[in-house]
Structure 1
Amino acid sequence: MSGSTIAPGFTRPIGVSRDFLGADGRNVWGDIGLDGFEQHGLAWEYLEQDVTRLRPADLDGRPAVVFAEPAVTAASLAGVANPPLVLARFGVGYDAVDVAACSRAGIAVTITPDGAQRPVATAALALLLGAMLNLGAKDRLVRRGTWGDRTAWMGRGLTGATVGIIGFGSTATDFARLLAPFKVTLLASDPYCPPERAAAAGAELVSPGDLARRSDAVVVMALLTEETRHLVDAGFLAAMKAGATLVNVARGPIVDEAALAAALASGSIRAAALDVFETEPLPMRSPLVAQERVLLSPHSAAWTDEMSLGNGRSAVRAVLDALAGRTPRFTVDRAFASSPAWNARLAARRPPEWGVAQNLAS
């Protein structure tokens, strides 16, 4: 256990999911800013077991749990008498979390888009350049000793290209800033993006079909929802330019992988770079594995020390905010965050009701 104080009203320290630990007992992500709890005298500990789904025993009596891989379902909350204030996800996606069930239990679910923003934007640029320059194929030429084949792998330049971005949130706008030196034409498709945000980033808001037809490269950066599932399907891919490149750094099911493999095999599109897949790990029987024009990454292209510390600090800040009586900035269910039930829970935490909250408010 680290720190000293268990938050009043709870019986156990803040929990941290055990998937953060490697076989040697060290945090595989490095420094994720957990000392932020200790700086406020708050006790925290790793959960007793490494689980694929958080259990009621992992949650009951804890003020918060910081977690990465485990799912959170209605069963996770069954019989929890003293639920956490916050379940702080280390990352951006929350498709494995039953947010509605958490809200019904009075728990705020938070994510860490501020921590992942620049690392994901950087990874998107790296994958885009890697795919356009055929870096994966060129790496294999050297390893195979087939340098004579290098003229078959001429790359495509990014300068002056038209780049279409599906999903235009904060990470996508940061990606747009990274593209500025290449003097690209920016297109964005996002029905929830305020026009002023797109305009400020120099992007034109268009329909998915228009984006597919006009883009030299399409980069997927959207959340996975029922609206975006298989948004990039056979029809979308058929509408893309024959020389176009597709990059996915969001969630695998947004792209129909069977349709993508067929498009690459037929030459309907030129190249792809994928950090996420419909099934993870990607099955070795997938036709994408044998595709020479696909650059593959095991859902870790953005994993850097920068992301580790940024995500961790964001998750810690969400917990500290709630314990000080403030709604965390990146609460997923905003309707719940303004509800009487949540505000009643927060009211018990506000200074000067208890000393740690007084410190956290500063």
Structure 2
Amino acid sequence: MARVVLSAFPMIDPQTYREVLDDAVDAPVEIAVAELGSTENLIEAAAGADAVVTDIDTPVTAEALDALDLRVVVRSAVGVDNVDVEAAAERGVTVTRVPDYCTDEVATHSVSLLLACLRSLKGYDDRVAAGAWSWETGRPIRRVSASTIGFVSFGPIARRAAEQLAGFDADLVAYDPFVEADEMAEYGVEKASFDELFDRADHVGVYAPLTDATRGMVDADALGRLDEDSVVVNVSRGPVVDADALLDALESGAIKGAGLDVLAEEPPEDDPLVGRDDTIVTPHAAWYSEEARDDLNRSAAADVGAVLNGETPEGKVDPEADWL
């Protein structure tokens, strides 16, 4: 009998795994649900397991992999920054992810954050609730079509956001060393170097995965290249943006605002970026729709089934991928 351990993380639905695995795998499959959240909990919960479906809060380390006898680690999301992919490959453990389950949702969320910040919607709502009724409380607001919007990384989510923004007639530029200029041009986007993007862009959306190379890449120097009307949106991972530098830029008035779906620490504890008038923070919810959650669970469960059947899973992570 194969044993599959699921994180008790709310986005993971045991009923869907039961349904998919009963249909996909001929042999009996035991499914257990456990609170993970740490290497120690993972080692204890996944003892004797063939597969573990993990959440963002659980580090899957070389230590954990040595203590277990897993066949597959499934990251129930797009990113795999909490999984030691190289260590897994060295031990013959397959790592999978679900790269496209929420492309439309995250793109839409990023555009929503951008527009809400640009149009000062949070400030207007707060001031109306406090008894004010004046368009001037949101000043200054600039026309979207007169702006240049930059994308840090240009993968599927950024591409979908570019498609959604096309109707606003803004100029679009992107930095991504792994995407050619002609491919960006298909989306009406001009390729730029990292420094050039921040020199040219009025507003910046961050879509980069968290890796050693991207950690803190949006730093004080990058933010210092923007102007006082600029908005920064982050829907990737919190640590891609230097939180202290972002706070400094907001407090000094060097930029207009920020729209953040991710933070350096989640959930936050006394994070000074939370509760500011010039910042909108959502609880790492950009991925969410009922359809996306169902897609996520079915795709991840199908990958578990594929490995248990001795097949190659759809979402297998290449340990030598350029973006890792």
TM-score after normalising by structure 1: 0.79
Letter in 2 for 1:102: A
Shift of 1:208: 1.2
Structure 1 partner of 2:289: 304
Q: Is the 8 A contact 1:163 1:218 kept in 2?
A: yes
Structure 2 partner of 1:236: 222
- Work out the percentage of aligned pairs sharing the same amino acid: 32
Shift of 1:328: 2.3
Judged with a 3 Å threshold, the aligned counterparts in structure 2 of structure 1 residues 333 and 29 are, in CA distance, closer, same or farther, namely: closer
Q: 2:97 aligns with which of 108, 111, 114?
A: 111
Structure 1 partner of 2:318: 333
Deviations 1:204-223 (A, max 9, x none): 11111111111121000001
Q: Which of the pair has more CA radius of gyration? A: 1
Question: Which piece of structure 1 moves more, 192-201 or 291-300?
Answer: 192-201
Tell me, in whole angstroms, the C-alpha distance in 1 between the residues paired with 2:30 and 2:145: 49
Aligned runs of 1:172-321 on 2, under 5 Å? 172-284=158-270, 286-321=271-306
Q: 1:79 aligns with which of 52, 57, 67?
A: 67
Judged with a 3 Å threshold, the aligned counterparts in structure 2 of structure 1 residues 210 and 283 are, in CA distance, closer, same or farther, namely: same
Shift of 1:184: 2.3
Shift of 1:149: 5.2
Shift of 1:301: 3.0
What SS does structure 2 have at the residue aligned with 1:19? coil
Question: Which piece of structure 1 moves more, 181-190 or 41-50?
Answer: 41-50
1:68 and 2:55 matched = yes
Structure 1 partner of 2:75: 89
What SS does structure 2 have at the residue aligned with 1:55? helix
The root-mean-square deviation of aligned C-alpha atoms, in Å, is 2.3
What SS does structure 1 have at the residue aligned with 2:24? coil
* Gap regions ≥5 residues in structure 1: 1-5, 7-11, 21-27, 337-362
Letter in 1 for 2:148: T
Shift of 1:104: 1.9
Deviations 1:99-125 (A, max 9, x none): 122112211111111112111111111
Q: Is the 8 A contact 2:116 2:122 kept in 1?
A: yes
Structure 2 partner of 1:37: 21
Tell me, in whole angstroms, the C-alpha distance in 1 between the residues paired with 2:250 and 2:35: 43
Deviations 1:61-105 (A, max 9, x none): 43322222322112212333xx33221111112221111221122
Q: Is the 8 A contact 2:218 2:241 kept in 1?
A: yes
Letter in 2 for 1:190: D
What SS does structure 1 have at the residue aligned with 2:145? coil
Shift of 1:37: 1.6
Structure 1 partner of 2:8: 18
TM-score after normalising by structure 2: 0.88
